[in-house]
Amino acid sequence: MSTTREIITAPAVPGITLEIDVPESWDRHTGQETAAFVAAMPPAEAGPFADTLVVGIERLPEGLPAHLEAVRASSLVQLHAAVPDLHLVDDRPVVLDGREGHLRALVQSTEQEISVIVRQVFALHGDVLVTIALTSLPFRDREASQLADRIFSTARITAQNGADR
């Protein structure tokens, strides 16, 4: 599968950049809020449900320590509160771009009552949380898992002009 290098920034967090490789044929959109970037498998390839890639770049909320374990625990509590049928499949430390990161995989139902699997990896850069998430249908698990691994392994997080706080 051919890929294209994407350079992603978030207007709310100037100076932090994420570079990742995205499947070349996927449709791309730049976000304005928490989702800094969204890419989706084109309808001709996807069928009734398109795999989607969402990148978030955001400052941590006031009061949340800039420690990965605090972010991991807080985000897990939020997930369980917001998603009633969440089933955690994987939840472990990983290395993302040479820094401490965390990988999480979960199965959940969408509002349309379709089961999906979400693989996400996140890491901190100072007080900035960078999240990359790939959502796909469970029957495509092997293919989507390999795609997620390829995308996650290409991630590069950089800061310019004192963007680290």
Q: Kindly report the CATH number assigned to the domain that includes residue 128.
A: 3.40.1000.10
- Where in the sequence is the domain holding 10, given as residue range(s)? 3-159
| Residue 17 is assigned to a structural domain of this protein | yes
pTM of structure: 0.91
- Which of 29, 23, 69 minimizes the C-alpha distance to 45? 23
Token reading at 100: 């401490």
| Residue 65 is assigned to a structural domain of this protein | yes
| Residue 164 is assigned to a structural domain of this protein | no
| Residue 47 is assigned to a structural domain of this protein | yes
The total domain count for the chain is: 1
Share of the chain above pLDDT 70, in %: 95
| Residue 22 is assigned to a structural domain of this protein | yes
Q: Tell me which DSSP letter residue 158 carries.
A: E
- What is the phi/psi pair of residue 12, to 5°? -75, -10
pLDDT tens, position by position, 80-133: 888 878 999 999 999 999 999 999 999 998 888 889 999 999 999 999 999 999
In the predicted structure, residue 165 carries a pLDDT above the cut 50: no
| Residue 104 is assigned to a structural domain of this protein | yes
| Residue 165 is assigned to a structural domain of this protein | no
In the predicted structure, residue 163 carries a pLDDT above the cut 60: no
